[in-house]
Amino acid sequence: MKANMKLENYPPARDNELLQRVEDIGEEHLMSSLETPMRKDAFVLSAEEKVNLIEEKFADILHILGMDLTDDSLSGTPRRVAKMYVNEIFQGLLPENKPQAKLFDNKYRYGQMLVEKNITVHSYCEHHLVPILGKAHVAYISSGKVIGLSKINRLVRYFAKRPQVQERLTEQIGEELKRALQTEDVAVYIDAEHMCVATRGVEDCASSTVTVHYSGKFKEESYRNEYLKIIE
């Protein structure tokens, strides 16, 4: 995968060629880094200020599309969309929403892998802003500490609730779990459908995308095979 491809790496081009390259980047689902692309001033505005501005801009979009915003059915749509973006589907962009993973001593001395299966993944493709829907299966082997099971689900949700690329989402979950659990022995498996594939472009409703993160003992065939057998 051409992970480091950026527009400035391309040679000069006419406007129509540049637009096609922008489209190609989206179709190839490229990501630029492990970190979600954010501006340095991303948190200057309050959540309410962002809602107000998005409401105004989305009203412009609907107007350009030819929609009649005086209609009762549409009049509240810009506000609803703005609140949905900031407070719901993209809430993972706000650092204050990151769940705190409190650690506990592994008093049971449980030394085998712990697997949390079928964690719901609701995210949005950052290239077209349409849903990514799937399941995550997460495992770790304790190095002496454990976390509450719900925190694993909450971490998956936090990183999913932002414009995403599935490869980045998988790596972000894996890296955060290693940091929080103080162990290298982590595995993440995500199987998801992309609505940018299913409802536009190729319009393939039958395919799904699988991404994995293996670190520590999960790089060993025996552990990896046991994990894959459990999540089947």
Q: Catalytic positions, please?
A: 125-128, 166, 194, 196
The Cα angle at residue 148 between residues 146 and 150, in degrees rounded to 5: 140
Q: What is the DSSP string of the chain?
A: --TT--GGGSPP--HHHHHHHHHHHHHTT----SS----TTTTSS-HHHHHHHHHHHHHHHHHHHT--TTSTTTTTHHHHHHHHIIIIITGGGSGGGSPP--EEE-TT---SEEEEEEEEEEEEETTT--EEEEEEEEEEE-SSEEE-HHHHHHHHHHHHSSEE-HHHHHHHHHHHHHHHHT-S-EEEEEEEEEHHHHSSTT--SS--EEEEEE-GGGGSHHHHHHHHHHH-
- CB atoms near residue 30 (< 10 Å): 17
Token pair for residue 32?
């630029």
Query: CA torsion 176→179→181→182, rounded to 10°?
Result: 160
